[in-house]
Amino acid sequence: MRGAVLAVGDELLLGDIVNSNAAWLGEQLAAVGVQVVHSAMVGDDVERLATALRRALEDADVVVVTGGLGPTVDDLTRDAVALVAGVPQDRVPGIEEQLRGKFAAFGYDMPEAVLKQADVPRGARVLDNPVGTAPGLRLEVDGKLVFAVPGPPHEMKVVCGAVLPELAALTGTVLHTRQLHCAGTGESQVAERVEAAVTVPDGVQLAYLAGGGVVRVRFTGSDDTALLPLAEAAANALGDDVFGRDGDTLTGVVHRLLGASGATVAVAESLTGGLLGAALSAEPGSSAGFVGGVLVYATPLKAVLAGVPEAVLAEHGAVADPTARAMAEGVRERTGATYGVALTGVAGPDPQEGHPPGTLFVAVAGPEGTRVRSVRVPGDRERVRALSVTLALDLLRRTLARAS
C-alpha cells in the first residue's frame, strides 16, 4: 500500500516552522506497512490544496493530510477535501454541541467562527479529537482513503491513534523493527562488525542511523521471528558497545542501572556548562538517581566548587587527565553521591591552553575507583558539547554495568 502525506500551512512554506509532522507520519505509516512515496507541504490556498490532494491521490492509495482544520479563514482543508471529493459540507449538530461544551468547560465564550469545525464533507466519518477542538476526518475518494488530522503535533498523534490501526488491518503486513543502540564507537565500525556476524535474508532491511554519538542498528521486516535472532547475533558481535534496544535511551539505561543498585550520580561540568545535568534530569523520576553537581566553567571554580587542588590546576591546567579525575572525585565527595562524573575539554572554536577544539577528558569516580577517558571529539562547538555528554553518559553506563 502506497501512502502520501500533505502538511498544510503557509508557515511551513515560509520556513517559520519545520515539518516534523511529516517525519512522524512517515515513520508511523512505514510501521503499519504503508510506504510513503509522496510527501508535500501546501500553503493555505484552497485551489493549491485541491491540486496537491489530487496529485497525492494519483500517487498513493492512502493520503494523510495534517493541518488546516482549525477555526480561522486560513483553515481550508475541509473545503479542499470536499472540493476534490465533489461533495457538499453538512454542519453536524453533534460536533457543534461538543464544541460548545469544550468552550464552556474552559469558561470561554465561543466565537461563531469555531463552528466551521462542525462542518463535515458529506460521506466523511468524523475522527474524535479529545485533546483539541478540531476533529479529524476519514473519507473515501475514488476508492482511495483520505484522512485529515489536526496540525498541532500532539493533536495529530492522538487522532492518528484511530487511523493507524485501520491501515495496519488493511495492509495485513505490519512492519516490525528490532533496534540496537550503540555508543562509544563509530557507524562504519558498527556496520563492519554487524555485517561480519549476520546475513540479512530477503524481506528484512538493515539500516544504520547515526547521530549525537549514538549509532542505531535497525532490522525491519514483516516477520518479527526472523528479526529477533538477527538482532541477537548483531548484539553479540557488538558486545558492550550496545547500551540498549528498541525504545531505550542512554539516559534511561543509566537511570535503570543506578536504580538497580540504589546508586546516585553527581556531575562536574566544564565545557558542557550544564548539558550533562540537563540530560540526567530530563525525564520524570530523575531525582531517584541524579542529585545535582557543579558547573565549573571558569578555571578558578574547578578549585572552589569541585575541590580540584590548586597544585593540579597550576601544573596540568584546566584541560587534563588529573583535573578531570579530581573534578569527578571532588563532586562525588561534596555531594555524597555514589558516582561523580566530570567533563573538561575544549568546545571551541578557539584552542585553550594549547589544546585544539574537541579535546575531551571524561572521568567517572565511584566506589571501585576512578576511570578517565581521553578522546578527540569531531565537529563544531555545538556538536563537541553534545558528543561530550554522550561520551560521559556512556562511560558511566559502562562503569555501572561492570559494577552490577
**Binders of a copy of itself among 332-361, rule CB under 8 A?**
334-336, 347-350
379 in contact with a copy of itself (CB under 8 A): no
Place of cell 558547573: 295
Q: Which is closer to a copy of itself, CB of 236 or CB of 287? A: 287
Binding part of the chain for a copy of itself, among 21-29, 85-93, 141-149, 176-184 by CB under 8 A, reads: 21-29
103 in contact with a copy of itself (CB under 8 A): no
Alpha-carbon Rg for the chain, nearest whole angstrom, is: 27
Least separation in angstroms between residue 69's CB and a copy of itself is 20
Distance CA 327, CA 297 (A): 12
Residues 260-299 that bind a copy of itself (CB under 8 A): 264, 266-267, 269, 271-282, 284, 286-287, 290-298
1 in contact with a copy of itself (CB under 8 A): no
50 in contact with a copy of itself (CB under 8 A): no
Strand partners, 210: 215
Give the strand pairing for 204-211 and 214-221: antiparallel
Q: Which is closer to a copy of itself, CB of 19 or CB of 129? A: 19
228 in contact with a copy of itself (CB under 8 A): no
Q: Which is closer to a copy of itself, CB of 13 or CB of 375? A: 13
Q: Which is closer to a copy of itself, CB of 187 or CB of 232? A: 187
Least separation in angstroms between residue 103's CB and a copy of itself is 17
Residues 174-213 that bind a copy of itself (CB under 8 A): 207, 209
Distance CA 332, CA 33 (A): 50
Q: Where are the alpha helices (DSSP H) in 66-136?
A: 77-85, 93-106
Joined together, the cell numbers standing for residue 341 give: 562524573
Least separation in angstroms between residue 14's CB and a copy of itself is 5
131 in contact with a copy of itself (CB under 8 A): no
Joined together, the cell numbers standing for residue 161 give: 491513534
Strand partners, 206: 219
- Select the residue interacting with a copy of itself from 1, 48, 110, 263 (CB under 8 A): 48
Burial level of 126, CB count in 10 A (0-12/13-18/19+)? Answer: middle
Burial level of 393, CB count in 10 A (0-12/13-18/19+)? Answer: buried
- Select the residue interacting with a copy of itself from 1, 26, 92, 256 (CB under 8 A): 26
Q: Where are the alpha helices (DSSP H) in 172-239?
A: 187-197, 224-238
324 in contact with a copy of itself (CB under 8 A): no
93 in contact with a copy of itself (CB under 8 A): no
Distance CA 340, CA 269 (A): 11
Query: 66 with 9: CB under 8 angstroms?
Result: no
Q: Which is closer to a copy of itself, CB of 82 or CB of 267? A: 267
Least separation in angstroms between residue 183's CB and a copy of itself is 19
Query: 361 with 321: CB under 8 angstroms?
Result: yes
